[in-house]
Amino acid sequence: MKDEGRRMKKQLDGRNRAKACLLCVIRLLLSSFLLPPSSFSLAFGQPDFKVVPSAEATPEGGIVNILMIQTEKERFELQIPKEYGTQIRQSDQSIVFTSLTGSSVITVKMTTNYAGALPKMESLRDQVAKKFAAASLVQTSPCVTSCGTGLLFDLFQPLPGNLTMRMRDGYVAFAEGSFEFTLSCDLREYDKHRLAFAWLLNSFRLQAEPVKKEP
Amino acid sequence: MKTTTATSRACAGGWALLIVMGLAAAGLLLMASVLTWANENAAVTMRNSELFTTTYAAEAATEKVLGAIVQDDQNYGAGWVATKNASTAYSSLIPTASDSSYWTNYQFSGGANNNSVLVECVCISSTNNAGPPYSGLQYVGASYEIIANARNVTSEYGITATVGQEVILGQIPIFQFAIFYNDTMEIDPGAVMNISGTVHGNTNIYMDPSGTLTFSNDVSATGTLNLTENPLDPSSRTTPTPTNMVNFNGNHLADVNPLNLPVGTNTSGSTSNVASSVYSILQVPPAGESPNSTIGTNRLYNQADMIITVSNGNVITVTSGMFANNAATIISNNQWASFINTNGSFYNMRDGVEVNPVDINVGALRQWSATNTVLRPVLAAAPSRSTSTADVQSIYVADERFMSNTVIITNYSYTTNTATLTTSSYPAANSFYPPVTTNTTASTTSSYPTTGTYIPPILATNVTSTTTTNYPTGGSYIGSVTTNTTTTTTTNRPTSGYLGIITTNSGNPKTYTYNKITGYTCQLISGYIINGITGYTYSGITGVTTNASYTTNYTQYAEPGIVLTNGATLPSNGLSVVTPDPLYVVGNWNVSTNGSNLVTQSYNVANTLPSGFYSDAFTVLSPAWNPSYSSNALSSRTAANDTVNAAVLTGIVPSNGTYYSGGVENYPRLLENWSGVNLYYNGSMVEMFASQISNYPWPGTGTVYNPANRYWAYDTNFSNPSKLPPLTPRVIYLNRARWSTLTPGATIF
């Protein structure tokens, strides 16, 4: 009888595993259609990317608007910059913050690249230089967040109409991949938007409590 | 018959004439008397009228001088007034035709001297107690008497009138206020807050606390006092402030006169005490500016005992102060190396920038100051100093490195050559650009595929229905195993190899009937269908080419900062630190006078020395501060109990509709998690301008810092003029003492 029970359990486990695998395949297939080629991850299984808006009471600071980013194993949160609108793009696992004037865009994008640790600065710098081929990469500095320190690259890109776009491209690794933070704005308004970007980075943190997966 | 004589009739007519003539003469006499009386009365009225107008003219002459003195005092201070008065610049300020043609009717004089006014400093310095709304404060100042004569030169009377006025050019040491804001003051603490000492705002004051806010002393505002939040504060607060949340235990008055520093006017000369002028007292004077100029006399650079400048290339220059000997004494490297360090760095999370600070070890400075033979003789010989006050009392520190590092010409770019490659194994790190495409093909294997040889999941498992004599091993089949049996009767009772129950048959010998196991049927796994990995295709890096292809002007920005450490005990006469840069104080400050009896976590200021900070911004870092953790999450930046005893004059970042200034409750900026940690501060908080360098808004709590338990109090030592921090600025508090008409030609009251 015991053997029979064990066999039954094995059978059910096998079915559940098969069902989970099937769901995973379906999800991957859907994702592969939606994701642009550049966002394909190294690992085949892209972690979850659920973004939930929330609010948080701070001591003497009132209520602040935050976003919670739920991945497969971790939960991150960050504060929404003041005077910025938010757009969550599930398709490419990114969040786009656009200033009310439209002159500045901050993008937070999660990928499975560089899981665990960023590559060497020189290597990542070359990759950034290639990614922003039309821009001048002028400086590398630490990308400070409350979730750890990564690498930050400053870029300038001339635009038609005698304009210059100022960009900051930052990378921070976590166990399942990395987050890329990009600020793009008019050079003349950089000082104003630099702060919003810095505070967003400051507020980016890993929640202390481990996330319990739903049964 | 009636008869009359002619003579009798003639006599009667003469009497009548005489009477008429007499009456006429009397009438004329009366008329003459009335006219004479009337004429004299008009003359007296005219003389009175002339006296009044001439008195007013004399007053106008004193007012013209008074106006000039007040303006100079407001703009440049009493010292400048004394200098001008010594050169008789004020005494010649009489009303002239250029003011109005009316004044050509008058001759002005002071004493016996025509075309001048008497202006005399009758008391160089007197100490006076101020009344509400500055109860308990003392103002000190010089008294001036102004006496002017005036005479109407077009009048037949030529009356001379004399008016005298006395004015006290008072000054209140600004650190006698517990809180002084030149800009809009906001006080919106979340916790209960008690403010001891006098509070003044030069514009409006807004109060919208969440805990009870109590003012123990007078509160005044040049603008309005508002029990509501600042309209430029974007926070959602309970407004208007609930009743009983704000308690005034002293007077509270709005619409009082502004209290200005004597720092000149704006460029048009129409507004005094503008923020840029106030901020200039912290700045290094431009080349060629005399320390004795109107602006130069107000610069703290010209008043400090020692000057430290750090210029581009990390060149450190330390000299004596301007006031001592025009900064002529150079203090060498081996002298200052023990207390100045410029090699550190930390991250200011509020401003989101790296700070390359100038670290001043105050304990080491104290030791050097007490024993050195370079600066002490210079200070002992300086004005108002002696050998007993030869210790350094004030230092000026300016980090000018960031100013000359503003533009970097960048002449490089990166072109990375790549080629599409396919390899059987995963490419090594840094040898490719992501992403890597994993190539697969559907294949069948007889054994379970090993990790990394396929992309999960397994697509299908092939099975074959098989009957075996032995029970199949685990993992070799899918599903259930069917046990095959046949009914068998034997004389021996089986001990194994059967299924179910054994039936015992009667007879001799006994027989046994049972279901003998003949074999097992199952779905034996014959293979797996998988997406087998056949290789990886990617953009392999084949080389890097560096080209000089463009030039970019780029502002490399590392914020300057002055960090004061080891300041529990100050030099023997106290210490003030002036800098145009942001200032950071690490750990306990000024808690002992002898280095051994440390009084911390207390409002007791008996064991403190006069100390003040003058800076662009002011940040308190606790004894637990570690620069290495400055960029870590707030949870790893936990503060420890701290005590700071010093007055502060610094800047804030005002509310602007998008960001809240942080209010008085965040006047000292914090960069650590102070939750549940005590910050004792005994001093005076003076806000005079918007921060120019550390000018990023209040960031809210939770990320950059969490608020401390605020144990803040006014340092009552500052009510004693001899215990004020070195270089204490003073605000103008003008007082008209006397006004009087005097005997014509008088030279004194």
The torsion angles phi and psi of B210, rounded to 5 degrees, stand at: -95, -20
Q: Do A59 and B706 touch (CB under 8 A)?
A: yes
Q: B115: how many CB neighbours lie within 10 A of its CB?
A: 12
Q: Do B435 and A40 touch (CB under 8 A)?
A: yes
Residue B142 contacts residue B125 (beta carbons within 8 Å): yes
Structure tokens at B24: 């006429």
- Residue B129, beta-bridge partner list: B138
Q: Do A59 and B190 touch (CB under 8 A)?
A: yes
- Measure the CA–CA gap between B83 and B147, rounded to whole angstroms: 19
CB of B471 within 8 Å of a chain A CB? The answer is no
**B262: confidence class by pLDDT, cuts 50, 70, 90:** confident
Kindly give, in sequence order, each residue whose CB lies less than 8 Å from that of residue B657, ignoring residues fewer than 6 positions away: B232, B234
- Measure the CA–CA gap between A115 and A95, rounded to whole angstroms: 19
The conformation of residue B697, written as its DSSP 8-state character, comes to P
**Tell me, what's the pLDDT at B271?**
52
Q: Do A203 and B481 touch (CB under 8 A)?
A: no
The conformation of residue B222, written as its DSSP 8-state character, comes to S
Cα dihedral value B527, B530, B534, B535, nearest 10: -140
Distance from CA of B208 to the nearest CA of A (A): 12
The torsion angles phi and psi of A110, rounded to 5 degrees, stand at: -100, 135
Q: Residue B189, CB half-sphere, CA atoms under 13 Å: how many?
A: 21
Probe site for chain A from B463, B703, B704, B709 (most A CB atoms < 10 A)? B703
pLDDT in tens, B52-90: 999 999 999 999 999 999 888 887 778 889 989 988 899
Q: Structural domain boundaries of chain B?
A: 303-407+557-659+666-679+695-701, 414-549
Q: Do A136 and B704 touch (CB under 8 A)?
A: no
- Closest C-alpha to B729, from B326, B409, B407, B260: B260
- Measure the CA–CA gap between B617 and B583, rounded to whole angstroms: 6
Residue with the larger pLDDT of the pair A24 and A85: A85
Q: Structural domain boundaries of chain A?
A: 2-34, 50-206
**Tell me, what's the pLDDT at A127?**
85
Percent of chain B residues past pLDDT 90, beyond the cut: 63
**Tell me, what's the pLDDT at B267?**
44
**A176: confidence class by pLDDT, cuts 50, 70, 90:** confident
Q: Average pLDDT, stretch B13-32?
A: 88
Cis omega (within 30 of 0) on the bond before B457?
yes
Distance from CA of B573 to the nearest CA of A (A): 39
Residues of chain B with C-beta less than 8 angstroms from the C-beta of A44: 438, 455-456
For A166, name the nearest residue in chain B, comparing CA atoms only: B554
pLDDT in tens, A139-173: 788 899 999 999 999 888 877 777 788 999 999 99
ipTM score assigned to the predicted complex: 0.72
Probe site for chain B from A202, A205, A206 (most B CB atoms < 10 A)? A202
Question: Which residue matches tokens 């080349």?
Answer: B287
Q: Do B408 and A142 touch (CB under 8 A)?
A: no
pLDDT beyond 80 at A31:
no
From residue B15, how far is each of B4, B8, B19, B22, B27 by CA, in Å?
18, 11, 6, 10, 18
Q: Do B700 and A37 touch (CB under 8 A)?
A: no
H or E element, residue B64: helix B6-76
Probe site for chain A from B425, B438, B552, B665 (most A CB atoms < 10 A)? B552
**Tell me, what's the pLDDT at B110?**
92
Q: Which of B:190-229 have CB within 8 Å of A?
A: 190-191, 210
Residue B224 contacts residue B184 (beta carbons within 8 Å): no
Burial class (CB in 10 A: 0-12, 13-18, 19+), A139: middle
Residue B108 contacts residue B119 (beta carbons within 8 Å): no
- Measure the CA–CA gap between B189 and B254, rounded to whole angstroms: 22
- Closest C-alpha to A106, from A156, A166, A159: A166
- Measure the CA–CA gap between A20 and A24, rounded to whole angstroms: 6
- Measure the CA–CA gap between B91 and B109, rounded to whole angstroms: 10
Percent of chain B residues past pLDDT 70, beyond the cut: 92
Q: Average pLDDT, stretch B475-493?
A: 92
**Tell me, what's the pLDDT at B453?**
85
- Measure the CA–CA gap between B716 and B24, rounded to whole angstroms: 90
Residues of chain B with C-beta less than 8 angstroms from the C-beta of A120: 430
Measured in residues, chain B has a length of 749
Burial class (CB in 10 A: 0-12, 13-18, 19+), B487: exposed
- Measure the CA–CA gap between B241 and B727, rounded to whole angstroms: 38
DSSP string computed for B467-506: EESSPPPTTSEEEEEEEEEEEEEESSPPSSSEEEEEEEEP
Residue A194 contacts residue A186 (beta carbons within 8 Å): no
pLDDT beyond 90 at B661:
yes
Residues of chain B with C-beta less than 8 angstroms from the C-beta of A40: 435, 437
Percent of chain A residues past pLDDT 90, beyond the cut: 34
Residue type, B257: N
pLDDT beyond 70 at B632:
yes
Residue B734 contacts residue B169 (beta carbons within 8 Å): yes
- CA distance from start to end of chain B: 96
Planar angle of CA B198, B199, B200, nearest 5 degrees: 125
Supply the mean pLDDT for chain B: 89
pLDDT beyond 90 at B745:
no
**Tell me, what's the pLDDT at B557?**
61
Classified as helix, coil or strand, B343 is coil
Q: Do A44 and B541 touch (CB under 8 A)?
A: no
Probe site for chain B from A8, A76, A139, A146 (most B CB atoms < 10 A)? A146
Q: Do B675 and A41 touch (CB under 8 A)?
A: no
- Residue B514, beta-bridge partner list: B488
- Closest C-alpha to B476, from B527, B529, B524, B530: B524
Q: Do B701 and A60 touch (CB under 8 A)?
A: yes
The conformation of residue A160, written as its DSSP 8-state character, comes to T
Kindly give, in sequence order, each residue whose CB lies less than 8 Å from that of residue B687, ignoring residues fewer than 6 positions away: B180, B181, B182, B183, B185, B649, B650, B651, B652, B667
Probe site for chain B from A60, A130, A165 (most B CB atoms < 10 A)? A60
Q: Tell which CATH classification among 3.40.1000.10, 3.40.50.970, 3.40.462.40, 2.40.30.10 matches the domain A50-206.
A: 3.40.1000.10
Residues of chain B with C-beta less than 8 angstroms from the C-beta of A18: 457
Indicate the residue of B190, B410, B544 with minimum beta-carbon distance to A60. Answer: B190
- Measure the CA–CA gap between B411 and B79, rounded to whole angstroms: 55
Quick one: CA dihedral B715, B720, B723, B724, positive or negative? positive
Residues of chain A with C-beta less than 8 angstroms from the C-beta of B542: none
Indicate the residue of B550, B696, B707 with minimum beta-carbon distance to A59. Answer: B707
Residues of chain B with C-beta less than 8 angstroms from the C-beta of A79: 703
**Tell me, what's the pLDDT at B546?**
55
Structure tokens at B266: 């704006």
pLDDT in tens, B315-353: 999 999 999 999 999 999 999 999 999 999 999 999 988
Residue B563 contacts residue B584 (beta carbons within 8 Å): yes
Entry pTM: 0.73
Q: Do A199 and B659 touch (CB under 8 A)?
A: no
Q: Which of B:537-576 have CB within 8 Å of A?
A: 541, 544, 550, 552, 554, 556
From residue B57, how far is each of B60, B100, B157, B741 by CA, in Å?
5, 12, 16, 12
Indicate the residue of A7, A42, A56 with minimum beta-carbon distance to B480. Answer: A7
Q: Which residues of B673-706 are buried (b: 16+ CB within 10 A; e: fewer)?
A: bbbebbbbbbbbbbbbbbbbbbbbbbbbbbbbbb
**Tell me, what's the pLDDT at B561?**
95
- Measure the CA–CA gap between B236 and B610, rounded to whole angstroms: 40
**Tell me, what's the pLDDT at B551?**
46
Indicate the residue of B235, B437, B457 with minimum beta-carbon distance to A24. Answer: B457
Residue with the larger pLDDT of the pair B162 and B546: B162
Question: A142-156, B16-30, B156-170, B405-419: which has the minimum mean pLDDT?
Answer: B405-419
DSSP string computed for A18-67: HHHHHHHHHHHHHHHHHS-GGG--SSSSPPP-EEEEEEEEETTTEEEEEE
H or E element, residue B682: strand B678-690
**Tell me, what's the pLDDT at B167?**
92
Cis omega (within 30 of 0) on the bond before B435?
yes
